[in-house]
Amino acid sequence: MQNGEVVACATSSVDSSKSVTACQGSSTIVSTVSSIAAAASSSAAAAVPTANCDFFDEGLFWHFEVYNINGWAGADGSSLKTQEKGCGGLTGWGWRVDDSRYQHASFNLPFTIKQGCVERAIKSAGGPGGLACKGHGLKKRSVQGRASIIKEHLRAKRYGRPLSEHRFTHQYLEEKAILATSPNITGRSLVPRAHTDAWNRYAPKGIQYYNEWRDRSTTQEDKAALCNFDETYSFSQDPLAVTGPYEPIKPYINGGKGQTYTNFRWHWPKGPTNTATAIFWNNVSPVDNVIIAFSNDRGGDEEEGEDRSPDNWSDMLWWLWLRATAEAGDKSALGQIFRYNVDNDASKEILAEILGDKQDEVVTLEPDDAQSQDNGFWALLGCPNGTGMIHLVGDHKKALNGKGINSISCIYNSREDQYYMWGNLA
């Protein structure tokens, strides 16, 4: 009886050991054996772990991409990361949510890992068994080549259209829809303006770092350059034609000249490559007066107390700049600092908000006297891909004759499906 009314009940048996009772009132339907079985089957199917795995020869290590993860890898991929560490010196860990259903992990492992270790680690973390990571050689080392492989899996699995149309997170798209109907909108600016979490977090830092640079006197002694680089890192250098891997940004380098660069690679700790925890790859040209940061990974997770290289990126890049300009060139002539293939999630979130739907179009932002946090210049300067630039010029203001980051330019390259940003010095 419910609320004074008699309610009829029926019992449906799914198997010999279980039964389900359903009651029928004015708005309740008796469950049938077939519907119960269908629900159980649907629930079991949803619990089946899924993943794809590809790995790439990066010259110094294997780079792995595990994606189409449907929730089995733990908070922020912690379970997967723990298991993969058992395969060797894991570096370059990255984790992101591709959409509301799937996650994506990326990491590096040394060439000396045992065959099948990564797949076994995936299974141990709760992922699918029997998975075989697909390997790709040097010809697929480029970001474009790597992305083309992963895009096909993603497109076939859930998108049905090119991945470039989905480069915004769902959170950002929802915020963008809200902004589009906001009565506070005037053109592309909002008064007040709503921003992504990354923007709100890093814009104040950008203002802080800029003011520290501005308030530093050009007569104040600069931060001392690294004096033990060769003892701390295994280091190599060789010529590099900028027309090769840097073709997407060549038009923006010093008016499109694109001179020959010197390619610097180093890893930490000093010793064999397969023992490296941190790996760095950067290029400089005292002819174009440009630094290009290609790939920089300081190593383990600092919050977890893992080993990381002892020096900041800005300190190491200044050491390289001094080395490059020692025989020819003027160290104060540095004109641009490029961050190539921005892959930090917070930085990309800010770039997505600044660029909106713009593709293959450069947007340049300058500091404003009011230091409004609505100005994307501050968010980019304070983000993980911008702090190294402002620290480099701030720590060496005297040597650079007072130069600072006068503007920041950025672009989304649709062909490469990548963001690029660079600081312009003046």
- Give residue 402's pLDDT: 96
Closest CA to 20 of 1, 35, 41, 2: 35
The Cα–Cα gap between 160 and 300 comes to 37
Beta-carbon contacts of 344 under 8 Å, excluding residues fewer than 6 positions away, are 383, 384, 385
Closest CA to 338 of 385, 371, 374, 380: 385
Beta-carbon contacts of 225 under 8 Å, excluding residues fewer than 6 positions away, are 315, 318, 319, 322
Torsion of CA 303, 80, 98, 301, to 10 degrees: 20
- Residues 255-285 as b or e (16 or more Cβ within 10 Å = b): eeebeebbbbbbbbbeeeeeebbbbbbbbbb
pLDDT band at 138 (very low <50, low <70, confident <90, very high): low
pLDDT band at 156 (very low <50, low <70, confident <90, very high): very low
Q: Do residues 378 and 210 touch, judged by C-beta distance below 8 A?
A: yes
pLDDT band at 43 (very low <50, low <70, confident <90, very high): very low
pLDDT band at 62 (very low <50, low <70, confident <90, very high): confident
The Cα–Cα gap between 385 and 376 comes to 14
3-state SS assignment for residue 191: coil
Lowest mean pLDDT among 11-25, 173-187, 195-209, 400-414: 11-25
Q: Do residues 283 and 297 touch, judged by C-beta distance below 8 A?
A: no
Q: What share of the chain is helix, strand, coil (3-state, %, to 5)?
A: 35, 25, 40
pLDDT band at 419 (very low <50, low <70, confident <90, very high): very high
Mean pLDDT of all residues in 66-88 = 93
pLDDT band at 155 (very low <50, low <70, confident <90, very high): very low
Look at 20 and 45; give whichever has higher pLDDT.
45
Look at 194 and 347; give whichever has higher pLDDT.
347
- Give residue 38's pLDDT: 43
- Give residue 233's pLDDT: 92
Look at 10 and 390; give whichever has higher pLDDT.
390
The Cα–Cα gap between 200 and 197 comes to 5
- Give residue 200's pLDDT: 92
Torsion of CA 209, 210, 211, 214, to 10 degrees: 130
The Cα–Cα gap between 231 and 310 comes to 12
Q: Do residues 159 and 150 touch, judged by C-beta distance below 8 A?
A: no
* Residue 132 C-beta-side C-alpha neighbours within 13 Å: 3
Q: Do residues 182 and 190 touch, judged by C-beta distance below 8 A?
A: yes
Look at 399 and 248; give whichever has higher pLDDT.
399
pLDDT band at 318 (very low <50, low <70, confident <90, very high): very high
Q: Do residues 10 and 30 touch, judged by C-beta distance below 8 A?
A: yes
- Give residue 195's pLDDT: 87
DSSP letter at 373 equals T
Look at 156 and 66; give whichever has higher pLDDT.
66
Q: Which of 11-15, 96-100, 176-180 has the highest mean pLDDT?
A: 96-100
The Cα–Cα gap between 353 and 339 comes to 18
Question: Model-level pTM?
Answer: 0.57
Say yes or no to pLDDT of 246 above 90. Answer: no
Closest CA to 112 of 270, 275, 241, 263: 275
**pLDDT tens column, 94-107:** 898 876 678 999 99
Look at 60 and 152; give whichever has higher pLDDT.
60
Pinpoint the alpha helices (H) of 233-344: 313-325
Say yes or no to pLDDT of 313 above 50. Answer: yes
Lowest mean pLDDT among 72-76, 128-132, 186-190, 344-348: 186-190
Say yes or no to pLDDT of 323 above 50. Answer: yes
- DSSP letters of 138-160? GGG-SHHHHHHHHHHHHIIIIIS
- Partner residues linked to 15 by β-bridges: 18
- Burial (Cβ within 10 Å: 0-12, 13-18, ≥19) of residue 238: exposed
Pairing of strands 52-57, 134-136: parallel
What's the one-letter identity of residue 137? Answer: G
**pLDDT tens column, 366-378:** 999 989 899 999 9
| Percent of the residues in the chain that have a pLDDT greater than 70, as a whole number | 71
Furthest CA-CA distance within the chain = 97
The Cα–Cα gap between 332 and 325 comes to 10
Say yes or no to pLDDT of 52 above 70. Answer: yes
- Give residue 298's pLDDT: 86
